[in-house]
Structure 1
Amino acid sequence: MSQHSRRVLVIGGCGVVGRIVVPILAAGHHLTVLDLKPPADPVPGVGYHTGDARDADLTRELATGADSLIYMAMGPVQGWNTPPTVRSHLEVAVSGLYLALRAAHEAGVRHAVYTSSMSVFRYLIPGTQREASRDEIGRFPGDDARPDARDFYGLAKRLGEEVCRSAAAEWDMDVVCLRLAFPTPDTEWPPVDPLFHRLIATSGSDVAAALDAALNYRGHGFAAFNISGDLDGHTMSLAKAREQLGWTPAHAAPGP
């Protein structure tokens, strides 16, 4: 964990990713969590608040005095691809994220981290435009390629990155997008099946280390990084994260 202790507002810290990383980040940073749901297993020393990040007054109040915002809220998994779930993911990734960043800016916060996803990219069979199945070895575009996902979840994350890019330009913020790949608790590491998960999944402690590195990545405006356990580059390049964030996975995902 970084030697620089930060005061951080974590939005969505009681969700799937939050439950994995908040206990680790809390060891080195002062965390305040805002979530629609109360924590199932509160982490000692973390301040929890139940509420909606779209409540500008509440978010602004909680962000006051913080020097960074981590936005990891996401829509539900239940009812995947149904209209209510699609609407929820788009609302969280666009209007929810925009309002949270604006409230943080108004509170004087100049730095934010967004947990994006490798799902912003299509996963293609090399040399073709055919999308690989979860039992085939495909490849994601390069580090600085333009996101091109077409499914609702990938599109939501793509649009979230555009919100971040706009915030960086409009409010002179540093906004770091971490494109996560199947965050997996260390106790469940390594994943076994399907092949797709096995190739790209990231251990929980490695995700926390990437977030920690992102909290200290400042003075660069908007930036996006691929974050995965794919140390050997079977499906993607992690060169940008290694060279600019100083991050590589300590737990290498099993190969094919």
Structure 2
Amino acid sequence: MTRILVTGGSGFVGSRLVEQFSQREDLDVAALVRTAPGKRVDRVKYYDFSDFSEIGADHVSLANVDVFIHLASRVHVMNDTAVDPLAAFREINVGHTLRLADSAAAAGVKRFVFVSSVKVNGEGTVEGCPYKETDAPNPSDFYGISKREAEDGLRSIAAETGMEVVIIRPVLVYGPGVKANFESMMKWLQKGVPLPLGAIHNRRSLVGLDNLVDMIRICVSHPAAANETFLVSDGEDVSTTQLLRKLGNSLNKPARLIAVPEWLLVTGASLLGKRSFSQRLCGSLQVDITKARTLLGWQPVLSLDQALRTTAEHFMSEQNK
């Protein structure tokens, strides 16, 4: 029996992960949560995680833990109101992460799986030149900087203590229950709003929720994952235009797209102070998942179309409640 402890167990990724892991007879799953989960999963033990700094090597939730999966973080936010945003990101994403890892190592945890971000690599790629794990990190925002610093600290702890560390860098995660911009896109499509996004020829990597959870599953126990870093995606890249069309089809609401030239969209967004938003819509960000496929034998469990369909079906069921 492998004992798993998950931080962020009530979050978007964490709730799905503990649900799926709880179905395996060979795993004993516990979750540290700061917010009470909407639905508690049978066979999962939940612990209050209101203060990251309180956990120690003698904490009940670390007793006999084999693998620690760290999902909780201060996420990238728009219009951050923190007085010192970088310090706020560092406090949670670096300081608390490394304190948890130190406690885990002291308690004898064998492996620490850290879900980082592609933002450690950077904000965009040249089409046809995807990010690889061997590329030099190039984070440009505070969130990405904090994740990179956490990764560096974890590697040092691994070298000093012998605890295995696995780092996973996902791209944009979507799936049933997704919020933020992805949910907004589905709302626009469902309402039949005409969108000026019919002539975008970028390439974006995405990762479906179940694909990310399966990648974490592999990294929990695969011997070759120890002290390695992996990029993860669905393995299928799409343009923003293609994504909207596929998502519209999944919603049974064909996308109403207007072919506005990219340069005009980018110029307009820059004049409105929305350059970063135009980058996400029009820029490319691709990752190469060859390492995960070859070293771990991992393949996405769902295709892009399948993952979009499950996302859309959940969205429609929630809208109909």
- TM-score range normalised by the length of the shorter chain: 0.7 to 0.9
User: Per-residue displacement from partner, 1:103-148 (whole Å, max 9, x unpaired)?
Assistant: 111111121100011111124452xxxxxxxxxx575432221211
Kindly report which structure 2 residues correspond to 1:1-256, keeping only aligned pairs within 5 A, or say none.
Answer: 6-28=2-24, 29-51=27-49, 52-57=51-56, 60-76=59-75, 80-83=79-82, 86-126=86-126, 139-186=129-176, 199-218=204-223, 221-231=226-236, 235-253=286-304
Structure 2: how far apart are the matches of 1:9 and 1:145?
31
TM-score normalised to structure 1 length:
0.81
Equivalent pairs, count: 238
Determine which structure has more spread, i.e. the larger CA radius of gyration: 2
| 8 A Cα contact 2:119 2:139, kept in partner | yes
| 8 A Cα contact 1:226 1:238, kept in partner | yes
> What is the root-mean-square deviation in Å for CA atoms of aligned residues?
2.9
Cα shift at 1:80: 4.3
Describe the shift of the 1:125–1:113 C-alpha distance in structure 2 as closer, same or farther (beyond 3 A): closer
User: Per-residue displacement from partner, 1:10-69 (whole Å, max 9, x unpaired)?
Assistant: 112112221232211221221111122221221111100112332133774311111110
| 8 A Cα contact 1:59 1:104, kept in partner | no
Structure 2: how far apart are the matches of 1:197 and 1:72?
29
Structure 1: how far apart are the matches of 2:57 and 2:70?
15
Describe the shift of the 1:72–1:197 C-alpha distance in structure 2 as closer, same or farther (beyond 3 A): farther
Question: What amino acid is aligned across from residue 61 of structure 1 in structure 2?
Answer: V
Cα shift at 1:174: 0.9
Cα shift at 1:183: 2.2
SS at 1:83's partner residue? Answer: coil
Question: What amino acid is aligned across from residue 74 of structure 1 in structure 2?
Answer: S
Structure 2: how far apart are the matches of 1:58 and 1:38?
24
Cα shift at 1:88: 3.5
| 8 A Cα contact 2:10 2:33, kept in partner | yes
Cα shift at 1:216: 0.8
Question: What amino acid is aligned across from residue 248 of structure 1 in structure 2?
Answer: Q
Structure 1: how far apart are the matches of 2:203 and 2:286?
11
1:132 alignment counterpart: none
Structure 2: how far apart are the matches of 1:103 and 1:96?
11
Structure 2: how far apart are the matches of 1:22 and 1:198?
32
Structure 2: how far apart are the matches of 1:46 and 1:198?
39
| 8 A Cα contact 1:60 1:104, kept in partner | no
SS at 2:223's partner residue? Answer: coil
TM-score normalised to structure 2 length:
0.66
Unaligned runs of 5+ in 2: 186-196, 239-284, 306-321
Cα shift at 1:91: 1.6
Cα shift at 1:230: 2.8
2:266 alignment counterpart: none
| 8 A Cα contact 1:69 1:111, kept in partner | yes
Question: What amino acid is aligned across from residue 209 of structure 2 in structure 1?
Answer: G
Unaligned runs of 5+ in 1: 127-136
| 8 A Cα contact 1:186 1:205, kept in partner | no
| 8 A Cα contact 2:101 2:157, kept in partner | yes
Structure 1: how far apart are the matches of 2:12 and 2:100?
19
1:130 alignment counterpart: none
Structure 2: how far apart are the matches of 1:120 and 1:38?
30
SS at 2:52's partner residue? Answer: coil
